């Protein structure tokens, strides 16, 4: 079925990007492949408990637009991803030490965007 692009994809792919979100809106990006690899690892090593599968640092949408030199018309709706303590997961699975910015770069490479 059809699904609409999220804000990140719209910033990266749309020639004329218009968002309802404010430029200071923040998100935390991880890759599905990293989540899958951790699940496999946890099953293999019989790891139990609660883990915050999150990047080590959030990123604001205006930062994404600046990094990739994209012109974006932002709106006024402010969304904030809270600070996420991922020290537990990153201590046993270091890929989660990467920042949201790192993960966006990896996503672009993996998806050939």
pTM of the model: 0.92
Distance of CA 14 to the CA centre of its chain: 18
| Nearest by Cα to 37 from 108, 83, 106 | 106
Q: Give domain limits for the chain.
A: 17-111
pLDDT tens, position by position, 46-89:
999 999 999 999 999 999 999 999 999 999 999 999 999 999 99
**Residue 55 neighbours by CB distance under 10 Å:** 26
pLDDT tens, position by position, 6-46:
999 999 999 999 999 999 999 999 999 999 999 999 999 99
């Amino acid at each position: 079925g059809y699904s609409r692009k999220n804000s990140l994809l719209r910033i990266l792919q749309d020639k004329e990007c218009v968002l309802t979100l404010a430029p200071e809106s923040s998100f935390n990006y991880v890759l599905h492949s990293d989540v899958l690899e951790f699940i496999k690892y946890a099953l293999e090593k019989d790891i139990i408990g609660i883990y915050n599968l999150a990047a080590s640092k959030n990123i604001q949408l205006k930062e994404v637009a600046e990094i990739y030199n994209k012109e974006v018309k932002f709106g006024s709706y402010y969304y904030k991803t809270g600070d996420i303590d991922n020290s537990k997961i990153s201590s046993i699975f270091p890929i989660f030490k990467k920042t949201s910015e790192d993960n966006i770069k990896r996503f672009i490479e993996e998806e050939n965007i």
